[in-house]
């Protein structure tokens, strides 16, 4: 007798979907059997005509776990969003309070999550020019899933590597020595700094032109679009320079690296060139698979993310690379700036905190790509469950529906559609750039280690999320 049996559904794996019944005992999948075999469960769920998928694994989310700031999500709001969106494991980027740069902060984040998280979570560590060997070793011993390096932006200024190749090499070596993975947020600090100054100057030039025009009554010139100006500060060259530098150093130290937020053809090409020399994996944000620079202009400050939304040609190249498994995974980069902070950007785009919420809509973003024939549901399982779990050492406990895997399960009804709106968003950032999209497929229920967490768009459990480590 199993604790839970899910029968009659079509189980979607990274290669194909197959009719199968699942038996769950003690939160773990204890049997995967052909339909019709008599599995008996204390709870018996009929999933006929529905799809059964592994819970999604999001390798990039910004969730603070300690200081419950008004500005960003806490564990409860962010992981409610995750659970409703079918994400059952989140990896926490280290940039948010408490910045996970010491063993003490690592512990605080873990303990805070254990009381408040509705889904399982792994913790990513922050390293920078001040990080000592002992700190890397302590965070590795605690189960850091990655060690994050920021070459040009992200985190706090004292953690930015900038042009310091000595530090880049030292840190890569330290992480190599503890057998860890370096997460690299690429780009060129000097290029971004100079281009940002130039774009701000061009805005000033326009203001001066406007005031003189009022005097000489010459013809009005259209102002530069601030969202476009922002995008010019982080060109694809900046991204490629960072990737090349990180890969070059990693090939020297032998460190495994994970490249964050690829957004261009040039970056895909760079990954291709270095793949033989470096043990690397890479990701793309779901936003870059869905939206373009035109959407960004339409969204105004809500379209400001880093790296910026690119052209349709870049987006199409990213889609192809995901389909071809050249990019390993799609992530949410859940960055829940509050509406009131995003609104500041209408008056001054440089005041807008970059980023979009995305935990609750990651799966739906991917389902729109399935609707459009870009990906199959098996591709979605590969890039949003199997690969992120595998690249960070959590597979097959997470990211799979195999015998012995955690029973993290999403039941999806593709006979129904779902209209995405702002009202249902659980994040404190109570908006979504997917607003108004009708997506084919509605999440029926979400299980975390065999326990029902979300059903029919409602959270139905208390926080039972656990810390997971590689």
Which residues make up the interface to Zn ion (CB under 5 A)?
A: 333
120/333 with CB nearer Zn ion: 333
Nearest CB to Zn ion, comparing residues 21 and 148: 148
Sheet holding 56-61, edge to edge: 56-61, 87-92, 120-126, 146-150, 181-185, 256-259, 280-285, 329-331
Q: Where are the beta strands (DSSP E) in 332-424?
A: 409-419
Shortest distance (Å) from residue 32 CB to Zn ion = 35
Residue closer to Zn ion by CB (options 103, 184) is 184
CB of 185 to Zn ion, least distance (A): 7
Q: To 5 degrees, how large is the angle CA 390–CA 396–CA 398?
A: 80
Q: Which of 400, 436, 467 is nearest to 116 (CA)?
A: 467
Please identify, using beta-carbon distances, which residue of 253 and 361 lies nearer to Zn ion: 361
Q: Which is nearer to Zn ion, 9 or 155 (CB)?
A: 155
Report, in Å, the least distance between residue 359 CB and Zn ion: 12
The rounded distance, in Å, linking the Cα atoms of 247 and 235 is 19
Whose Cβ is closer to Zn ion: residue 18's or residue 341's?
A: 341
CB of 58 to Zn ion, least distance (A): 11
Q: Please name the residue that has the structure tokens 């709106």.
A: 421
Closest CB to Zn ion belongs to which residue? 333
Q: Quick check: 335 and 287 in contact, CB under 8 A?
A: no
Q: Where are the beta strands (DSSP E) in 96-180?
A: 120-126, 146-150
Residue 366 beta carbon to Zn ion: minimum distance, rounded to whole angstroms:
18
Q: Do 329 and 395 contact (CB within 8 A), yes or no? A: no
CB of 77 to Zn ion, least distance (A): 18
Three-class secondary structure of residue 458 per DSSP: strand
| CA 30 – CA 366 distance, rounded (Å) | 29
């Amino acid at each position: 007798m199993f604790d839970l049996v899910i029968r009659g559904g079509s189980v979607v794996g990274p290669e194909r979907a197959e009719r199968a019944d699942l038996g769950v005992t003690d939160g773990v999948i204890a049997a995967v059997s052909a339909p019709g075999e008599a599995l008996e469960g204390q709870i018996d769920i009929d999933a006929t005509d529905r799809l059964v998928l592994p819970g999604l694994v999001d390798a990039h989310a910004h969730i603070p776990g300690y200081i419950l700031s008004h500005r960003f999500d806490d564990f409860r709001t962010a992981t409610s969003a995750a659970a409703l969106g079918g994400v059952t494991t989140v990896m926490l980027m280290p940039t948010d309070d408490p910045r996970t740069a010491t063993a003490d902060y690592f512990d605080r984040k873990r303990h805070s999550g254990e009381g408040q998280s509705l889904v399982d979570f792994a913790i990513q560590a922050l390293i920078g020019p001040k990080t000592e060997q002992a700190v890397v070793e302590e965070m590795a011993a605690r189960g850091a899933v990655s060690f994050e390096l920021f070459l040009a932006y992200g985190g706090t200024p004292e953690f930015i590597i900038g042009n310091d190749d000595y530090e880049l090499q030292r840190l890569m070596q330290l992480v190599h020595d503890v057998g860890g993975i370096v997460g690299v947020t690429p780009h060129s600090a000097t290029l971004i700094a100079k281009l940002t100054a130039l774009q701000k100057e061009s805005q000033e030039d326009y203001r001066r032109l406007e005031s003189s025009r009022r005097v000489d009554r010459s013809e009005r010139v259209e102002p530069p679009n601030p969202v476009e100006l922002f995008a010019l500060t982080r060109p694809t060259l900046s991204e490629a320079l960072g990737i090349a530098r990180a890969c070059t150093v990693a090939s020297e130290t032998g460190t495994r690296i994970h490249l964050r937020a690829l957004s261009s053809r040039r970056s895909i090409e760079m990954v291709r060139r270095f793949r033989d020399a470096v043990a690397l994996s890479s990701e793309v944000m779901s936003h870059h698979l869905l939206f373009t620079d035109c959407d960004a202009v339409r969204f105004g400050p809500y379209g400001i993310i880093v790296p910026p939304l690119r052209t349709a040609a870049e987006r199409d190249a990213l889609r192809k690379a995901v389909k071809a498994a050249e990019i390993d995974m799609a992530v949410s980069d859940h960055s829940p700036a509050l509406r009131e902070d995003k609104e500041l950007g209408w008056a001054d785009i440089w005041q807008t905190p970059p980023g979009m919420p995305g935990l609750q809509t990651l799966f739906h973003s991917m389902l729109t790509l399935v609707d459009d024939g870009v990906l199959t549901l098996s591709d979605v399982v590969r890039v949003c469950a199997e690969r992120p779990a595998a690249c960070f050492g959590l597979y097959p406990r997470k990211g799979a529906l195999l015998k012995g895997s955690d029973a993290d399960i999403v039941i999806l009804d593709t006979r129904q559609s779902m209209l995405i709106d702002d009202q249902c968003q659980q994040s404190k950032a109570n908006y979504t750039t997917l607003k108004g999209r009708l997506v084919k497929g509605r999440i029926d229920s979400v299980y975390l280690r065999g326990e029902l967490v979300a059903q029919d768009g409602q959270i139905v459990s208390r926080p039972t999320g656990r810390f997971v480590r590689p």
